[in-house]
Amino acid sequence: MKPQASVEDVQRVCEKIESLGFRAHPMPGAQRTAIGVTGNPGPIEPAEFESLPGVAEAIRVSKPYKLVSREVKSEDSLIRVGPAEGSANDGGALAGFVVGGPELAIIAGPCAVESREQALTAAESVKRAGARLFRGGAFKPRTSPYSFQGLGKEGLEILAEVRRATGLLIVTETVDPENCELVEEYADVLQVGARNMQNFSLLKRVGRSRRPVLLKRGMSATLEEFLMAAEYVLSEGNYNVILCERGVRTFADHTRNTLDLSVIPAVKRLSHLPILVDPSHGTGRRDKVIPLSRAAIAVGADGLIVEVHPQPDRALSDGYQSLHPQEFEALMAEIAAIARVIGRTTAASPRTMNDE
Ligand code: PEP
Ligand code: MN
């Protein structure tokens, strides 16, 4: 649509699309609204739309993914997390956050919620260092059925307490369509894990959710498969998807996974969705988390999701890749310095070599 198109103009185009038996996907941007069309069995005539008031142009999308593509929406998507601005939700104590804007989105916390004390201690420390969002799994997809599977509902209750006590927004994983409703009640962002990137029933379920979705790249997924997974979510009407690179499997044995940072500029070129980097699962080794975090920010990621544990050596999952709280503080200071160079911000103040 043209930047000056009215709400009625957008509405009229959507009605026209629906009257043809297709689905309309209006996606507002900072300057203008893009309207995607899906459900059409073949090409439709652009002229049908170009004559309507407020329409700037009608474009045939050449890619297999449609709604996630920059062809449909050229402007970067800003994903609002948490209560809407000015809402009375939570007594107004909780501030929302925008992923994909100038401030880097930093999500930090333990792999899994293990106890009230562990979660609250972790949350206080990552908040102090400048994180705005807290991560912690209550439902854990584990490679072994005998490994710790998470605290389930009790874990979600603990996350709700963390949210109340710290004001941090909550990112937590939903592992199947059946538990999604429960997780939605507690999460500000629904995480879909790497192992579930092609769980199509889960993708469709979170596509019908009102919560934003953090979609992790599958460990052997191509870029096209990754974007197609995101397309599942958008095609159901949830346009608030945050992508996340978390490493792919290669022959390398010096790390758990190979963090594919080259996917960041590739995604930026093809899609309007923001993308974060997970340097914890991406490397699997604590000593590599800070260096790869620096690189991720430098290469243009919209933020990080990092595992931090008050006592990594006693963690019930992923302790060997979890940062100590003071290491996370150092990470925040380092990326704050890099952010400044590339025109982005963080809630932490940069530390230079001279401060050491
Ligand atoms: C996690 O974030 O703890 C996790 C299980 O990540 P992934 O799905 O990327 O393995
Ligand atoms: Mn983990």
Q: Please report the pLDDT score of residue 355 as a whole number.
A: 53
Question: How many helices and strands in the chain, by DSSP H and E?
Answer: 11, 12
Name the closest-CA residue to atom 10, ligand 1: 194
DSSP state at residue 95: P
Question: What sign for the dihedral angle of Cα 274, 280, 286, 287?
Answer: negative
Regarding the beta carbon of 137 and ligand 1, being less than 6 Å apart is answered: yes
pLDDT for 3 equals 96
Q: CB burial class (10 A; 0-12, 13-18, 19+) of residue 212?
A: buried
Predicted confidence band of residue 98 (pLDDT cuts 50, 70, 90): very high
Q: Kindly give the pairing relationship between strand 213-216 and strand 241-245.
A: parallel
CA angle in degrees (0–180, nearest 5) for 196-120-86: 80
| Per-residue pLDDT at 351 | 64
The answer to whether residues 5 and 32 touch, using CB atoms and an 8 Å cutoff, is: yes
288 lines ligand 1 (CB under 6 A): no
- Give mean pLDDT, residues 294-312: 98
Helix (H, G, I), strand (E, B) or coil at 191: strand
- Are the C-beta atoms of 52 and 9 separated by less than 8 Å? yes
Tell me which of 149, 189, 216 to substitute to probe ligand 1's pocket, judged by most ligand atoms within 8 Å of the beta carbon: 216
How many other β-carbons are positioned within 10 Å of the β-carbon of residue 49?
17
Q: How far is CA 94 from CA 85, 129, 208, in A?
A: 10, 18, 24
Mean predicted confidence (pLDDT) in 195-202 = 98
Is the pLDDT assigned to residue 87 strictly greater than 80? Answer: no
Query: In sequence order, what are the beta bridge partners of 137?
Result: 112
**Is pLDDT of 215 > 50?**
yes
The finding on whether 281 has its CB within 6 A of some atom of ligand 1 is: yes
Cα distances from 21 to residues 7, 195, 280, 305, in angstroms, run: 21, 35, 45, 40
Quick one: average pLDDT of 326-333? 98
Are 209 and 227 within 8 A, CB to CB? no
Contact indicator for 289, 309 with CB cutoff of 8 Å: no
pLDDT above 90: percentage of residues in the chain: 91
What dihedral do alpha carbons 261, 267, 268, 269 form, nearest 10°? 120
Q: Are strands 133-135 and 169-173 parallel, antiparallel or unpaired?
A: parallel
Look at residue 353 in the predicted model and tell me its pLDDT.
46
Question: pTM value?
Answer: 0.95
Q: Please report which ligand is nearest the Cα atom of 317.
A: 2
- Check whether 85 has a pLDDT greater than 60: no
d(CA 39, CA 85): 33
3-class SS string, 205-252:
HHHCCCCCEEEECCCCCCHHHHHHHHHHHHHCCCCCEEEEECCECCCC
Confidence of residue 94 (pLDDT cuts 50, 70, 90): confident
Under 8 Å between Cβ of 103 and 297: no
The CA-atom distances, in angstroms, between 100 and each of 49, 300, 354 are: 30, 11, 31
Q: Give the pLDDT score at 350.
A: 72
Percent of the chain with pLDDT over 70: 95
Tokens at 146, concatenated = 């005998």
How far apart are alpha carbons 187 and 135 in whole angstroms? 10
Residue 175 has pLDDT above 60, yes or no: yes
163 C-beta closer than 6 A to ligand 1? no
Q: How confident is the model at residue 250 (pLDDT cuts 50, 70, 90)?
A: very high
What's the mean pLDDT when you consider all of the chain? 95
